[in-house]
DNA sequence: GTAAAAGTTTGCAGCCTCTGCAAGTTCGGT
DNA sequence: ACCGAACTTGCAGAGGCTGCAAACTTTTAC
């Protein structure tokens, strides 16, 4: 019963989804073409065929339309990380917990490449992306704490979350520049994290 | 001659410095008390006894007044990192290059504790803090590349920069919550970075 | 099928941040 | 003391964003 309800989007639901997608596509395209400072909310709304007031029913800020919402639905990072078998070392476990997100990004490659290019070309957007990531990292903190038996407010779980987040973002930006397979890039950065940041055994890296 | 000129601030210089400091102090205090959304540029200017138009002669945005300018002067992160003897391992070298900044933050402890509390309580400020760090990170990339002989666009220098940046931010926010000595906290987080992110030898951490 | 309820869009006014412009004021140099 | 440079300030306006309420669309209940 509850499943049937969730599976049957109404015309309303569909129209909302379409409007949201249109706004995001318009924002991304226009900012890609002209730069963030030269695109107004009115421009974006016009391109998506809604009023500016409606824009703000979908996005709190202009930047949000460019950056898009969080990655959709699915189980939380917390649940995914705890679902990885306990005998998997921590960093590979985090990678595994992220693999669905990574696959989704890879499957929408063109869209994401545009988005990341826009972020790179409009410098005010990257800190926003990073800050977003850091807020979402709280789920990772609590999951790492649960896996390791450490208190959530101790250094290690927090560090694990922020460092894997930073490594992931670094891999993303490299993928956007000249990468093929996002998963491989993330795995590579995570390996550095796992073994330690020392050039002695990293100098063979490209 | 040139030195005498630099050493003798005019009344103009002194007044500018005073106004700038007054604006920053007012911004920090008011936002701490009321929250960012409830403090206007007019409030801040009024408290500092200047007009709102003058405010913008000093700061590009309201947020900038709260966060203050970048850490002052001094040699770039790039220069400092390259000045560390080449036989010092990379992560300790980065820590050493940062030590002057860390000492300065520690010496203005109360001011920074207020500032970090304000950032924590007003999450829209976090991206700005991150953006501030990014300039230093870019300088770190080029310096790491020079130290290691790797190309600046290869993975390792970029990862070194983003990971030490993230580690530093984590240490800062922990220091703001319940820390005593910022340098020790940063060193601790950097040690995790150096040896690798694995709970096996980190479980003794608090 | 119809009417009412619920949800969504939209126009509008206004607050706030921020910018360019130019007149007025203060400071520094001669 | 005078003049030019530097700084302050008032003003108007653009753009982002919010609350409000009327109008419109879709869904629900009978």
Chain A residues within 8 A of B155 when measuring between CB atoms? 170, 174, 188-189, 192, 205-206
Nearest nucleotide relative to A52: CA against C1':
C10
pLDDT in tens, B118-133: 999 999 999 998 988 8
Tell if the CB–CB gap between B167 and A159 is shorter than 8 Å. yes
Residue with structure tokens 């020079």?
B146
Question: Who has greater pLDDT, B198 or B111?
Answer: B111
Architecture of the B77-201 domain? Orthogonal Bundle (1.10)
In angstroms, the CA A132 to CA B195 distance is: 28
Once rounded to an integer, what is the mean pLDDT over residues B5-25? 86
Architecture of the B2-67 domain? Orthogonal Bundle (1.10)
Tell if the CB–CB gap between A90 and B155 is shorter than 8 Å. no
What is the CB neighbour count within 10 angstroms for residue A33? Answer: 10
pLDDT exceeds cutoff 50 at B5: no
Which token pair is A72?
Answer: 């959709």
pLDDT score for A6: 47
B5 CA from D7 C1′ (Å): 20
pLDDT in tens, A43-60: 999 999 999 999 999 999
* Nearest C-alpha in A relative to B191: A196
In angstroms, the CA B202 to CA A67 distance is: 36
pLDDT band for position B68 (cuts 50, 70, 90): confident
CA angle B2, B74, B131 (to 5 degrees): 130
Bases of chain D within 7 A of a CB of the protein: 6-11, 15-20, 26-28
Residue with structure tokens 């909310």?
A41
Query: Please, where are the H alpha helices in chain A?
Result: 2-7, 11-34, 41-48, 52-58, 62-67, 77-83, 90-107, 109-121, 125-148, 155-178, 182-195
pLDDT exceeds cutoff 60 at B163: yes
Q: Which of B149, B150, B205 sits opposite A156 (nearest CB)?
A: B205
Q: Which of B127, B167, B174 sits opposite A128 (nearest CB)?
A: B127
In angstroms, the CA B158 to CA B152 distance is: 7
ipTM: 0.87
pLDDT score for B134: 85
Nearest nucleotide relative to B43: CA against C1':
C16
Mean model confidence pLDDT for chain B: 89
Chain A residues within 8 A of B91 when measuring between CB atoms? 197-198
| CB-based contact A166:B165 (threshold 8 Å) | yes
Tell if the CB–CB gap between A150 and B203 is shorter than 8 Å. yes
In angstroms, the CA B14 to CA B31 distance is: 26
Tell if the CB–CB gap between A155 and B134 is shorter than 8 Å. no
Give the CATH number of domain A77-194; options: 3.40.50.2000, 1.10.357.10, 3.40.50.970, 2.102.10.10: 1.10.357.10
Which protein residues have a C-beta closer than 7 A to any atom of strand D? A 10-13, 15, 39-42, 52-53, 56, 60-63; B 12, 15-16, 19, 50-51, 53-54, 57
pLDDT score for B135: 83
Pick the residue of B171, B197, B203, B206 with the most A CBs within 10 A to test the interface with A by mutation: B197
Once rounded to an integer, what is the mean pLDDT over residues B18-33? 96
Nearest nucleotide relative to A40: CA against C1':
D15
Instruction: List the domain boundaries for chain B.
Output: 2-67, 77-201
pLDDT exceeds cutoff 90 at A178: no
Q: Of A81, A194, A200, A201, which Cα lies nearest the Cα of B192?
A: A194
Once rounded to an integer, what is the mean pLDDT over residues A78-101? 93
- The answer for A154, left when phi > 0, alpha when psi is -120 to 50, beta otherwise, is beta
pLDDT band for position B61 (cuts 50, 70, 90): very high
In angstroms, the CA B196 to CA B166 distance is: 15
pLDDT exceeds cutoff 50 at A120: yes
pLDDT exceeds cutoff 70 at A203: no
Which token pair is B48?
Answer: 């500092």
Once rounded to an integer, what is the mean pLDDT over residues A104-128? 92
């Amino acid at each position: 019963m509850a499943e049937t309800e969730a599976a049957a989007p109404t015309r309303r639901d569909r129209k909302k989804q379409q409007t949201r997608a249109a706004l995001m596509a318009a924002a991304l395209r226009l900012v890609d073409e002209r730069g963030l400072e030269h695109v107004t909310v009115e421009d974006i709304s016009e391109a998506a065929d809604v009023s500016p007031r409606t824009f703000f029913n979908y996005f709190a800020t202009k930047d949000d339309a460019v950056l898009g919402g969080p990655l959709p639905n699915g189980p939380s990072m917390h649940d995914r990380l705890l679902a990885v078998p306990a005998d998997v070392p921590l960093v590979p476990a985090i990678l595994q917990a992220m693999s669905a997100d990574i696959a989704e990004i890879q499957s929408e490659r063109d869209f994401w490449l545009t988005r990341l290019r826009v972020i790179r070309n409009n410098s005010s957007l990257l800190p926003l992306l990073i800050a977003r990531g850091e807020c979402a990292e709280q789920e990772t903190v609590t999951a790492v704490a649960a896996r390791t038996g450490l208190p959530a407010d101790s250094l290690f779980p927090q560090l694990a979350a922020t460092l894997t987040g930073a490594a992931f973002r670094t891999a993303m930006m490299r993928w956007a520049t000249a990468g093929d397979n996002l998963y491989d890039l993330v795995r590579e950065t995570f390996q550095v994290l796992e073994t330690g940041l020392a050039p002695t055994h990293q100098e063979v890296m490209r």
